């Protein structure tokens, strides 16, 4: 997920004008990955670990999300190439990546917004936002636009592997919270994390930063490739 917040002046005569709202990216007419210039990451890393949560019911919405007809990871080509380099280096250290989400259709973002507005549905509160009212998610944690829809943002974690050639020996590292956990404990530099959890979060941060990925500080799992190849364009083709 992506948290967006802005500052608004409460005293117009004495304070500088509030910054103008960010302009939403244009929606591309691309109807599939090829037309959008995206590639399936498994084309370059066939055994890359994927756990695409929004294609299943194992997510904060509690059901498959609109636009996710398959558990696949698409990214713009330069982003996928950078991710391949991250994975290649990590494997020399006995580590691997596990991806939770990559390109996200704009329609899926709309599905999130509709879910957040339904305050009667609290079925996933205990697992994903136990210390927040659901009313606090919309506007603070769930935005009408997402960097994922631009094909350069992904959510992921690290695994340690007993064998570089056998993914069955890999176990996700303990990062202190689950993926998509709406809480301050998911902040990358959360001081309450154990020394081992902080070290592993920083290990992921360093591995991604070497290839141009920038972390979103409120979510240890969230990274965007910079500079983005298409920063002003969002995509909406379904994942099939």
Taken as a whole, the chain contains a residue count of 240
DSSP 34-86: HHHTEEEGGGT-TT-EE--GGGSS-STTSSPPTTBSS---EEEHHHHHHHHHH
Residue pair 87/45 in contact (Cβ under 8 Å)? The answer is yes
DSSP 134-154: GGGTBTTTB-SS-GGGGT-EE
DSSP H or E run through 40: strand 38-40
Q: From residue 199, give the alpha-carbon distance in Å to each of 118, 139, 177, 211.
A: 38, 31, 14, 19
Q: Catalytic residues, which ones?
A: 219
Q: Can the peptide bond before residue 112 be classed as cis, meaning omega within 30 degrees of 0?
A: no
């Amino acid at each position: 997920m992506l948290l967006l917040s802005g500052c608004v002046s409460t005293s117009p005569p004495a304070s500088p004008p509030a910054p103008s709202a960010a302009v939403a990216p244009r929606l591309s007419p691309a109807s599939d990955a090829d037309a959008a210039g995206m590639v399936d990451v498994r084309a370059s890393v066939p055994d890359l670990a994927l756990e695409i949560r929004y294609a299943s019911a194992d997510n904060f919405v509690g059901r498959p999300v609109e636009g996710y007809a398959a558990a696949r990871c698409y990214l713009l080509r330069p982003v996928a190439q950078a991710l391949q380099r991250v994975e290649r280096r990590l494997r020399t250290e006995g580590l691997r990546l596990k991806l939770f989400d990559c390109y996200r259709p704009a329609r899926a973002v709309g599905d999130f917004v509709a879910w957040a507005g339904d305050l009667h549905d609290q079925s996933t509160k205990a697992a994903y936002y136990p210390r927040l009212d659901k009313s606090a998610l919309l506007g603070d944690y769930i935005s009408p636009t997402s960097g994922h829809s631009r094909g350069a943002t992904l959510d992921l974690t690290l695994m340690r592997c007993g064998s570089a050639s056998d993914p069955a020996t890999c176990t996700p590292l303990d990062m202190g919270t689950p993926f998509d956990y709406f809480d301050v404990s998911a902040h990358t530099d959360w001081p309450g994390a154990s020394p081992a959890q902080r070290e592993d979060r920083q290990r992921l941060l360093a591995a991604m930063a070497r290839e141009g990925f920038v972390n979103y500080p409120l979510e240890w799992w969230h990274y965007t490739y910079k500079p983005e190849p298409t920063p002003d364009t969002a995509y909406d083709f379904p994942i099939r």
